[in-house]
Structure 1
Amino acid sequence: MAATPGLSLVRRVPVRVWTVLSWAGLVLSPLVLYLWIALGGPFTVLPLLAMLLPFGALRRRPLVALGVLLAEAIAVELLPLPSPSASGLHQSIRYLQVVTVDLAVGCIAATRRPGVSVTAAVLALVVQLGVAATAELWPGDLETAVIPYVLAIVTVWAIGTMIGQRRRFREAQRAQAEFRAVQAERLRISREVHDMVAHSIGVIAFQAGMGSRVIDTQPSEARDALRAIEETSRDTLAGLRRMLGTLRRADVGPGTAPLDPAPGLADLDGLAARSLDAGVRVDVHRRGGRQPLSPDIDLSAFRIVQEAVTNVIRHAGVRRCEVVVDQRDKELFIEVTDDGQNSAEGTGYGIPGMRERATLLRGEFTAGRRPEGGFRVAARIPIPAGNR
């Protein structure tokens, strides 16, 4: 909803201007009250103005505003005032002072620690009772006179405290939400970097090892290995640059240019070709439909397959593995299996990262040894109704 012109104008006023105005109100308040006394009281609006001026500082300087209001309440009783009018102006001023002091106590309770607000409430109550006693405002029963003042102070203090607690609770919730968002983004970046770099490093390590073994006997094979290392390194470097460019981009938001395209299941053939360079043949089987998936599902599915294949290259010790991608009506099923004797389980971040990707999409993930031998990674990711 668009802000009203008046509210927009108020928000555009610098904070320094509001600070100057609030302090000006605090200074002018006792001066206006003194002017009313000096003039003999013909202008009844002056005492009302004197008590309203400190309200501008209640939000930024509640303790100072309370001190000014209490000082004025004492001054009204101690200084020689103009003769009261028939309308009971002095009595109305005293009641108005009680209201303004109580409001100041409520603002302090809402913005300051309990120790400070309790001290302010007790001080305000003592001053109010002292002023009432000096002005002989007591009725016949002392308890009947004290109870309204005490109830008023306690009520505004309790309301202000509740408002302050709710505000602090909202601030704590906002801080927690920001912290969770930062942590989620850090985990996302960590998964992306791991999945991108780990596969490439696996291919490079395999090619470097093979090239070093055949460089003397088969120079052409060594040359092919170096060429594969160069291509894999360039692809990885380009991917890292795209990611860093996205992170550095300051204008990401509605209406901006789309981000660089992320890999998806359509890139499985390229993954299989790179894995073949690393010495592992990847047989990809696509089943079910080929409807476009949402970017988060498409990217996560590709990263799960990529990490599972990387684990086969690094740990399984086999020459081939099988990838099955079955896109059903309500879910996407992914399975990567191999016949290796070595386990891909360990203390790394690969399997936890794959599990996190599936869980974030409300899917299921399993990874472990197969009874017939080898290792199996499987994930089921639900497909939202909009993608079916």
Structure 2
Amino acid sequence: MDAETIIRPPGRVGAWAGAAAYLLVVGLLVGGAPRASGTVHAAASLLAAGLLVGLVRRGPLAALGTALLGSTAVVVGTPDTLHGSADASFQGQFLAYLAVDLILGFIVATRGRRGSIVAVGVSCSVQLLVIGAFAGGDGLTVHAVIALPATAASCMAGMLSRERREHTAALRAQEVAEAVTAERLRIARELHDMVAHSIGIVAIQAGVGSRVIETQPDQAREALRAIEATSRETLSGLRRTLVALRQADGGPAAAQGSPLAPSPGLADIERLAAATADAGVRVEVRRSGDQRPVPADIGLSAYRIVQEALTNVVRHAGTGRCRVAIGFGREELCVEVVDDGPGAGAAAGPASHGFGLVGMRERVGLLRGHLSAGPRPGGGFRVAARLPLPAPVAASGAGSAAVAVEGR
């Protein structure tokens, strides 16, 4: 325990010490300065009310009672009240109740409805009784007119502060709820796109292996190898997703600092095409335009769109081939998956009742792109996405400007 801890009193003790000091100052004002006017006593008591700050934070109702006691003592014990004021229309000692109104506004802003109503009722009753008993002549009306609006203004300020705080809390809660919903949708899209494709390939390969295991053991063996490779890849992706979630929650994986495998992107399209070919659908990949690195979120979304489209081709298109086209434009990345299957009857029907196309549209919408999916007029199904890209000339333009400055 250091010296600072020994010297500094606990918060509760300090709060009550401040209240005691406030009452001591009020007692000195009433008993020790009889020649001062009521206005001077009221001003001094308002300054002394700053000693009640600690008690206001820890016990607002106790602070209100202390302020009422001190303000009433100032009003009753000053010479203007005891011997009559030279100006009966205004007696400044009643201004001491402004400290009570300030504390009352804090109570309305921070306490419950029942406690606020009790505090307002007690405060108004005490002030009106004291004003009625000790205000003389026209001062009764003047001080009553001043006291009631002052109390109402403090209560209104407290209510506005409460409403603003509650509105801010509601907005923060809504933002948190929207963030949680968005994260759930993101995880659902990742799991659907990753697992649905892999399970589809495993199911097809298992069916092939079961049919040829007796007559063509070599082909059955290849099917089993494809199942093993696809399963391992899926488990790796699931592990990556779970580790990322645990790291976000600060779980054991975050403490161990286990490295994460990079998320798939455009460079993995050929590997995806090879896995789809093992499932019986040959995929032709075409790339065009000025190929360059793209942001990770755009590359991942493009990969997932192709993956989901190929999954639908394997499951529903009833064809043995399809085409994947990736075009690098100046301002956008174009991804297209086209098959020559039966079209709307096979591909669009089952897919439209699942979450595949919904996930595609959500991914593209988050990137402010455009997605079109539907049957082709000549047969088959087409999925096309346009994803905005950052301007490639920004870096080079900045570099040339820097070189020009150095040259000068």
Q: TM-score range by the shorter chain?
A: 0.7 to 0.9
What are the within-5 Å matches in structure 2 for residues 68-147 of structure 1? 68-76=66-74, 94-95=94-95, 97-113=96-112, 116-136=115-135, 138-140=136-138, 142-147=140-145
Partner Cα distance (1:69, 1:183) in 2 = 49
The runs of 5 or more residues in structure 2 that have no matched partner are 35-40, 395-408
Evaluate the alpha carbon distance shift between residue 387 and residue 165 of structure 1 in structure 2; reply closer, same or farther with a 3 A threshold: farther
Q: Is 1:32 equivalent to 2:32 in the alignment?
A: no
Q: RMSD value over aligned CA atoms?
A: 3.4
Structure 1 residues 158-200: Cα deviation after superposition (integer angstroms, max 9, x where no partner) = 2222122111111111111111111111111111111111111
Query: Partner residue of 1:310?
Result: 311
Aligned partner of 2:236 among 238, 244, 248: 238
Partner Cα distance (1:84, 1:267) in 2 = 93
Query: Partner residue of 1:378?
Result: 384
* Contact kept? 1:293, 1:387, Cα under 8 Å: no
Evaluate the alpha carbon distance shift between residue 24 and residue 276 of structure 1 in structure 2; reply closer, same or farther with a 3 A threshold: farther
Evaluate the alpha carbon distance shift between residue 223 and residue 365 of structure 1 in structure 2; reply closer, same or farther with a 3 A threshold: same
Which AA in structure 1 matches 2:120? Answer: A
Partner Cα distance (2:171, 2:116) in 1 = 24
User: Which range moves more in the overlay, 146-155 or 60-69?
Assistant: 60-69
Aligned partner of 1:343 among 331, 340, 347: 347
Partner Cα distance (1:128, 1:47) in 2 = 16
Q: Secondary structure at the match of 2:57?
A: coil
Aligned partner of 1:41 among 32, 39, 45: 32
Partner Cα distance (1:148, 1:35) in 2 = 26
Query: Partner residue of 2:15?
Result: 22
TM-score (norm 2): 0.79
Which AA in structure 2 matches 1:41? Answer: G
Q: Secondary structure at the match of 1:366?
A: strand
Query: Partner residue of 1:294?
Result: 295
Aligned length: 364
Q: Secondary structure at the match of 1:58?
A: helix
Structure 1 residues 254-310: Cα deviation after superposition (integer angstroms, max 9, x where no partner) = xx9985411111110000011011111111111111121111111111111111111
Which AA in structure 2 matches 1:247? Answer: L
Q: Secondary structure at the match of 1:284?
A: strand
Q: Secondary structure at the match of 1:329?
A: coil
Evaluate the alpha carbon distance shift between residue 386 and residue 66 of structure 1 in structure 2; reply closer, same or farther with a 3 A threshold: farther
Partner Cα distance (1:280, 1:295) in 2 = 28
Partner Cα distance (2:26, 2:152) in 1 = 31
Shift of residue 20 of structure 1?
4.8
Partner Cα distance (2:387, 2:16) in 1 = 61
Quick one: percent identity of the two aligned structures?
Answer: 48
* Contact kept? 1:32, 1:47, Cα under 8 Å: no
Q: Secondary structure at the match of 2:71?
A: helix
Partner Cα distance (2:121, 2:107) in 1 = 12
Partner Cα distance (1:149, 1:371) in 2 = 82
Shift of residue 360 of structure 1?
0.4
Partner Cα distance (2:269, 2:393) in 1 = 20
The runs of 5 or more residues in structure 1 that have no matched partner are 1-11
Shift of residue 133 of structure 1?
2.1
Which AA in structure 2 matches 1:374? Answer: G
Q: Is 1:167 equivalent to 2:165 in the alignment?
A: yes
Q: Secondary structure at the match of 1:286?
A: strand
Which AA in structure 2 matches 1:227? Answer: R
Evaluate the alpha carbon distance shift between residue 129 and residue 173 of structure 1 in structure 2; reply closer, same or farther with a 3 A threshold: same
Shift of residue 340 of structure 1?
1.7
What are the within-5 Å matches in structure 2 for residues 186-201 of structure 1? 186-201=184-199
Partner Cα distance (1:61, 1:46) in 2 = 23
Shift of residue 102 of structure 1?
0.8
Which AA in structure 2 matches 1:151? Answer: P
Query: Partner residue of 1:6?
Result: none
Query: Partner residue of 2:282?
Result: 281
* Contact kept? 2:313, 2:339, Cα under 8 Å: yes
* Contact kept? 1:32, 1:49, Cα under 8 Å: no
Structure 1 residues 223-266: Cα deviation after superposition (integer angstroms, max 9, x where no partner) = 1111111111111111111111111113999xx99854111111
Query: Partner residue of 2:38?
Result: none
Evaluate the alpha carbon distance shift between residue 275 and residue 235 of structure 1 in structure 2; reply closer, same or farther with a 3 A threshold: same
* Contact kept? 1:32, 1:46, Cα under 8 Å: no
Evaluate the alpha carbon distance shift between residue 264 and residue 116 of structure 1 in structure 2; reply closer, same or farther with a 3 A threshold: same
Q: Secondary structure at the match of 1:282?
A: strand
Shift of residue 37 of structure 1?
8.2
Query: Partner residue of 1:157?
Result: 155
Shift of residue 55 of structure 1?
2.3
Which AA in structure 2 matches 1:368? Answer: G
* Contact kept? 1:108, 1:117, Cα under 8 Å: yes
Partner Cα distance (2:211, 2:167) in 1 = 64
User: Which range moves more in the overlay, 369-378 or 45-54?
Assistant: 45-54
Structure 1 residues 108-140: Cα deviation after superposition (integer angstroms, max 9, x where no partner) = 22223456435533432222121222222x451
User: Which range moves more in the overlay, 337-346 or 47-56?
Assistant: 47-56
Query: Partner residue of 1:369?
Result: 375
* Contact kept? 1:338, 1:376, Cα under 8 Å: yes
* Contact kept? 2:336, 2:384, Cα under 8 Å: yes
